[in-house]
Structure formats: structure tokens, C-alpha cells
Chains A and B, each alone.
Chain A
Amino acid sequence: MTKEFVVKKLVFNKLAKIMSDIKYKVIVGLEIHVQLCTKTKMFCGCALSFAQQPNSRVCPVCLGMPGSLPVMNKQAVEFSILAAMALNLEIARFTKWDRKNYYYPDLPKNYQISQYDLPISNKGYIEIPLESGQTKKIRITRAHLEEDAGKNTHTSGDYSQVDLNRAGTPLLEIVTEPDMNSAEEVRALAIELQRIVRYLGVSEADMQKGHMRFEPNINLAITKDGIEYRTPIVEVKNLNSFRTIERSIIYETQRQLDEFIETGKTLKMGNKSTRGWDDDKQMTVLQREKEEAHDYRYFPDPDLVPVVWTDEDLERIRKNLVELPIEKRKRFIDNFGLSSYDAGVLTDEKSLSDFFDEAVSAGGDPKRVCNLITQTGLKIANEKGCKVNELGFDAKALAQLAKMVEEGTIGASSANIVLAEMAATGQTPDAIAQAKNLIQKNDTAEIEAAVEAVFAENEQAVDDAKNNPKKAQKALGFLMGQAMRKTKGQGNPKLISQILNQKLGI
């Protein structure tokens, strides 16, 4: 053995030994920015924009011109209250605006209008579905309203470009407690929050357009030799896809574990650091920040007056609450007997869940309606680039189709053909089934005659089915196929099978 090899082996053994008595758990809290889908900005009448000509949607207020005065967008404030209600937050009866001061070229006023000590809401929770079928409550510290900054583009030249179209866009900032303990839980929260704000209609929550931005605070609780250690907290900035949120947490978990084993560094006052996600390298990278950067010198904004809510105001806003996705999902499972997976698919979008609900109310069997939607409806909608409720037939027609399957008028596979035709032509399921000759024969006498004819033509198979256990299954299948053929594929398979078994005496 070479000396080098021995040393390597020693190190390896040491590491393996350390690893073997280490237990760790990742701890994650989130800061989330959600862009509200108002028509106009938070404090001025400029229209919200995406990919418009730079600096076209600006005015003296969002440019921070001297003498301009911001005025609250009522819709934005009410949207934020509605979202806070859905997140089980306590709504503050008195809320005010503060200036958060910092210098950066995307911030024309040199301060951001935000909320400091009296946010719109405090102390709530969000319930998230986990893959196990269980749910978990994640506490929410607070949610407040603020305005977005503009956008800087760093060109290759000696300067940076500033586009202020986004400056002043209303953002709801949601801060959670560090209650998540895996990348899966964080992802589940992100997706559930997206569903909630979409259900409420307060945000389009389009990740690609930056409508939702996530900043996880991540560290580890490590138990080594019976002692618990905490690694320094890392904040990862500005993640705007579910994939990068998940990957950054997985990456940080390993990096912090490695760092702890190597250096033994633990959480102390002031050793929190900020990292960014490098998508090319698939890793987080340290971001240097000036020490004073966090001295924001908040103070109340004298330009804006406080908001005071009465019971009547809050009741009026509360009327816009809808059944939340997780409640709907539970109802679909408990009342309709759907699987957790199917309930998840149906409640992913409000329009789809409403369409399903409507079809069930119109008399469609829940499982049949669910199958029609998940097996065919979603596929066609996907191909057409629209939603299931926009396919050209209404929920009643879907219920009708489900009933026809339930009553045996058409077969389950024919129903999918009919559904596709309903989407193409808008005709009723009945008319389509008639025209396409898909109506099943439920005439017992006719089917009995067909089965008898098949028996007469296939004596060997009949004998096998009755007396040869080795071949019985195959023979039965064969006879079934022949009988279907005799009825030109229109015989009700259930009925044929019943009659077959009866006549065979099995």
C-alpha cells in the first residue's frame, strides 16, 4: 500500500465514522412575493405590464418625481386581504405604510413603499397536501403589501439599462415560519399557494412571468453524539420555478452538511449569508452584500394614510372567499370516493373542479365523470390548448354521457369516442352515439340468441370452458370475443358475460 493510499483511506474511514453518528434534518422557511392581478399599479393608474416597450407604462408617481402623490389601489388592498383570509391570517384592523430605504437604480424613489411594524395581517397557516396523502400545516408569520421595483439589464457595455415598467406593481409578501423539512414540502407549499391565489383570482401566479418569487431560508439541525447543532442560515434569492426551489434546497442540504463536517461552523448572530441559484452549474453561489445593505431605516410614509377596517368591510371582502383547493380535494375524496390522485388532478384548477362539480350535480356519477375528464377530456383540452370547460360542451352534456355509461347504453370505451366527438361538434352524446352506432344492445333475448349461435359454432371452446381448468380462462375469453362480434360490437359486455356464464353453468 502506498502511503498516499493509506492516508486517503484514513480520511475516508474518519468521514464514514462521522457520517455514521450524524443525524440531520433540513429546516426551511419561505419569503414569497406574489404579484396581484389588478389592472393598475399599487399607487398610480399605470397599467401593469409584461414585455411591453420599456418605460412606456410609467408616470410621475412610479418614476418618483418630486411633488407626485401615491394613492392606494383599492382592489390591490382588497385582494391582499382576501388572500390573507384564505391563508387563515388575522387581519389587522389598522395598517399603515412605511418607507424601506435603499439605493439601487431599479428603485427611482430610493425607497420602496412597504409595510414594517403594522402589516395587513399576522399569524396564519397554510395546509399543504403531501405525497403520502397526509397534509401538513405550515405556519405563516405575516403577509404584507408592497410595491415592486423596476428591472435592470446589465449589458456588456460600460453601463446598465433601467426599465421602470414594473416599478409600482402590487406585491403580496408572505413570510412563513421555518416549518418545512424537505424539498418536497417546500414544493408542495409553492404549488398549493399558486392554486390558492388562482382560485381566489387575486393573481395569475404565472411562474414564467415572475408572478411568484420564492426566497427560502435554509439550515440544518444536526445531531452528533447526542448534541444538536444548527448550521448557519442561508437565504437563496429570487427563485422563480418549482424545479429550482426544489433543487436549491437539495443542494443546500448537502452543501451545509459537508461544510459542517469540514468546519464545524454553526449558527451565530450575523452569520447568515445570501446565495443565488446558478442554473447552468446547478448550484447555489455566495452573493456578497455590503454590510450596511440591511439597514433600511424604515419610517412611516407621510404620503400615505393608514387603512382602518370595519367589520362590514371585512365581511364584504370575505364574501369573495371560495372553497379552497385542499377543502375541495378532501370533499372529492370523502363524498365522491375519488382517489387522492384523481382529486388532485381535478382540483388543480378551479375551472376544472367547478366543471366537475356541475356535472356531478347534474346527475353524473362522480367516478364516471372523473374518468371521462381525466382519460379523455384533459387530453383533448391539452391538444387544443384550452380548458376542459371550454371544449364546446357543457357540464350537463358530460353528466348525460356519464349516465349513458352508467345505464349501459354505451360502453366505457365508446364514451371516450363520444366525448371527443362532443368536443369536435358540440352535438349531444345521445345523437353522437346513435349516429356512430355506439348504442349498446341490452336486449337479453337477442344476446342469448347470439351466445347460443356462438356455442353451436365452437363446441371445443365450450367444452374447454366447462371442463378443462387449464384452458377455461382462454376459452371463455374467446367465446366472449365471438359473442361481441356476433352483436357487431354493440352488445353490452356486462350482459354478454353474464349470459355466457349462466349458459355455461359456471
Chain B
Amino acid sequence: MNNKIDENTVRKVAKLSRLALADNEIHEFTAQLSAVLEYIEKLKELNTDAVEPLAHCLPVKNVFRPDEVRDSLGTDKALANAPQRDENHFIVPKILDEVSA
């Protein structure tokens, strides 16, 4: 089968998405994603010369809200489900200093 996507691309996409995939999964998803892309290819057969590009799937526009303050959750509620927290913060594993090589 002529794959639409190769394993290296899948590895890269997985990395960008912070997904740790095993080799067999990479293999499996490469085939699946290729099938999806192949299917999408079919759409190319349609002539879309006279069709405007679609920016949104609903025929809706200009949905605004007024600039009025609504109650926020407050610190305690906001942090209630945090896997890790201190008094007022979410806590995450130390972010490596960008400057350090």
C-alpha cells in the first residue's frame, strides 16, 4: 500500500501532541491515518471552483457578549480538582529554564 503518511511523520505529530506511542502503535496509527487521508483524497475529485472556502460549518456569525463582569470561580473552586496545588496555585513539574542549553 502506498502510504499517505510515513512513520516518521506520525512520530513527529505524536511528539507535538505529547503522546508517548509504542512502536507497534506507531505502525498501527500510520496505517489508520493513511486510510483517513486516502479517504479525504477522494474529496479532491469534486470540482470546487465555484465554491467559497468555508471558515465555519455553521451559517452563524457575529455572536458577541456584552463586556459585563460575571462572577469568577474564585481560587478555591478553581483549584478544587487540581492534581497538585499549593495555597493559591496550580503546581506543575518544574518547567526547565528555556535559556539553559
Q: How large is the interface on B (under 10, 10 to 19, 20 to 34, 35 or more residues)?
A: 35 or more
Query: Nearest chain-B residue to A152 (Cβ)?
Result: B95
Take A54-B89, A305-B56 as given contacts and tell me if A76 and B67 are in contact as well, using a CB distance cutoff of 8 Å.
yes
What 0/1 readout, one digit per residue, does chain A (150-164) give for beta carbons within 8 Å of chain B? 001110011111111
- Which residues of the partner chain B approach A57 to less than 8 Å between Cβ atoms? 72
Tell yes or no: A426 within 8 A of B by CB: no
Find out whether the CB atom of A160 lies under 8 angstroms from the CB atom of B95. yes
Does more than half of chain A's interface fall in helix, strand or loop, or is it mixed?
loop
Bound CA–CA A153/B61 (angstroms): 38
Q: Is the interface of B mostly helix, strand, loop or mixed?
A: loop
Contact B69 A161 (CB under 8 A): no
CB < 8 Å: which of B15, B55, B67, B94 contacts A40?
A: B67
Of all chain B residues, the one with the shortest Cβ separation from A98 is: B55
- How far, in angstroms, from A74 to B89 measured CA to CA in the complex? 30
A287 to B98, Cβ gap below 8 A?
Answer: yes
Q: How far is the CB of B75 from chain A (nearest CB, A)?
A: 5
- CA A305 to CA B54, docked complex, whole Å: 11
With A118-B55, A287-B98, A308-B62 given, is the CB distance from A55 to B12 under 8 Å? Answer: no
| CB of B97 within 8 Å of the partner chain | yes
* B51 CB–A CB distance under 8 Å: no
Chain A residue, CB-CB nearest to B101: A288
Contact A54 B75 (CB under 8 A): yes
Q: Does any Cβ of A come within 8 Å of B65's Cβ?
A: yes
B63: CB under 8 A from chain A?
yes
Chain B residues contacting A63 (CB-CB under 8 Å) are: 73, 78
Q: Which of A94, A162, A304, A307 contacts B91 (CB 8 A)?
A: A162
Q: Please give the distance in Å from A236's CB to the nearest CB on chain B.
A: 13
Interface assignment of A385: CB less than 8 Å from any CB of chain B: no
Query: CB within 8 A of B55: which of A94, A105, A158?
Result: A94
In the complex, the chain B residue whose C-beta lies closest to that of A79 is: B67
Give Cα distance in the complex from A94 to B55, angstroms. Answer: 10
Is A287 a contact partner of B92 (Cβ separation < 8 A)?
Answer: no
For B66, B67, B74, the residue with the greatest tally of chain A CB atoms inside 10 Å of its CB is: B67
A281 to chain B, nearest CB (A): 12
Taking the complex as formed, is B60 at the interface, i.e. its CB lies under 8 A from any CB of chain A? yes
Q: Mark A35-57, 1 if CB is under 8 A from B, else 0.
A: 00011100011110000011111
CB contacts (< 8 Å) of B86 on chain A: these are 161
A285 at the interface (CB under 8 A from B): yes
- The answer to whether A154 and B97 have CB atoms under 8 Å apart is yes
Asked if A162 and B90 make an inter-chain contact with CB atoms under 8 angstroms apart, the answer reads yes
Find B73's partner among A59, A96, A162 (CB 8 Å cutoff).
A59
When distances are taken between beta carbons in the complex, the residues of chain A under 8 Å from B74 are: 56
By the criterion CB–CB under 8 Å, are B75 and A45 in contact? no
* Minimal Cβ-Cβ distance residue in B for A153: B89
Task: Return the CB mask of B40-79 against A: 1 if under 8 Å, else 0.
Answer: 0000000000000001111011111111111111110011
Contact of B22 with A by CB under 8 A: no
**CB–CB A160/B94 < 8 A:** yes
Q: Chain B's nearest CB lies how many Å from the CB of A259?
A: 18
User: CA separation between A177 and B101, bound complex, in Å?
Assistant: 31
Q: B56: which of A59, A77, A104, A306 is its contact (CB, 8 Å)?
A: A306
Checking B56, B58, B70, B98 against A96 with a beta-carbon cut-off of 8 angstroms, the contacting residue is: B56
Seed contacts A71-B64, A288-B99; 19 additional CB < 8 Å A-B pairs? A45-B70, A55-B75, A55-B79, A55-B90, A56-B72, A56-B74, A56-B75, A63-B73, A63-B78, A71-B65, A73-B65, A75-B66, A103-B18, A105-B92, A154-B95, A161-B89, A161-B90, A287-B99, A306-B56
What would be 20 A-B contacts, judged by CB atoms less than 8 Å apart? A45-B68, A47-B69, A55-B79, A55-B88, A59-B71, A71-B64, A74-B64, A75-B67, A77-B64, A105-B90, A118-B55, A154-B94, A160-B91, A160-B93, A160-B94, A161-B90, A161-B91, A287-B98, A292-B16, A308-B61
Give 8 nearest A-B pairs by CB, closest first: A45-B70, A75-B67, A74-B64, A161-B89, A162-B90, A54-B88, A105-B92, A96-B55
